[in-house]
Amino acid sequence: MTTFLLVPGAGGVAWYWHRVVGALRREGHEAIAVDLPGDDPTAGIPRYADVALAALGDRPEPVVVGQSLGGPTAVEIARRVPVRRIVLVNAMIPAVGEGPGQWWTASGHRAAKEAAVRAAGREDAGFDETWEFLHDVPADVAAAGAAHQREQCDGPFTDGWVLPSWPDVPVTVVVGRDDRFFPGHFQIRLARERAGVEPVVLPGGHLLALADPDALVRVLVDA
């Protein structure tokens, strides 16, 4: 049995992982989906890591999984306690000396996304939640998620946290081939440059845990 510590992205809502939690438990593993204080403007990456570690308790050597904004928190957790592996899913992969507030510019995200939007035939890069996030999520799951939405405050982007160094831990990067928010080719480049790994590419968009949890769980279990 493996313990999986599941760190959500923007908003910090543990519900995001509910389909993965069920699938992992059916496989005989322990799955802990962390609920983060994303709506607290005073909370940033160190606080998120504190909350996640409190949820983990004394369970040894988990696999820490971070989705999107959960990526930096997953790496910070692995700096603090022994973990079996970090898995970053459509994540903001940090660079040494960089924080989430710097990531958008330093990573080249804006240019990559604008190019992807143009390639899709859209007129501009304006935010469209349905087009960017929900295009491959089953309609009933997307509808259920509306009740779980939570505002994401700026704490992780303004708290001053930067990655001091990468922990000496195996890393798996999972990329949604059809991600419209963090385009696939952009993520593949960051996986190679920042994590030093060749990513696992799955069909699907930014919210893989909602769109195709079984495919994601196969990667998590086999990692």
Long-range residue pairs from 114-121, CB within 8 A, at least 24 positions apart, any chain: 115/183, 116/180, 116/183, 116/186, 117/180, 120/180
CA distance 149 to 16: 10
* Ordered alpha helix ranges (H), 107-171: 109-119, 129, 139-145, 155-158
Say yes or no to pLDDT of 116 above 90. no
Residues contacting 57, CB < 8 A, separation 6+: none
Q: Which helix (H) or strand (E) holds 200?
A: strand 200-202
pTM value is: 0.96
Mean pLDDT of 120-139: 83
Strand partners, 172: 87
At 21-66, the pLDDT tens digits run 999 999 999 999 999 999 999 999 999 999 999 999 999 999 999 9
At 166-217, the pLDDT tens digits run 999 999 999 999 999 999 999 999 999 999 999 999 999 999 999 999 999 9
Mean pLDDT of 116-145: 86
CA distance 65 to 174: 10
Say yes or no to pLDDT of 83 above 60. yes
Residue 126: pLDDT band with limits 50, 70, 90: low
pLDDT value, residue 121: 82
Closest CA to 204 of 138, 140, 147: 138
At 134-163, the pLDDT tens digits run 999 999 999 999 999 999 999 999 999 999
Closest CA to 17 of 210, 200, 189, 175: 210
Say yes or no to pLDDT of 125 above 60. no
Say yes or no to pLDDT of 117 above 90. no
CA distance 49 to 31: 17
pLDDT value, residue 124: 64
pLDDT value, residue 114: 87
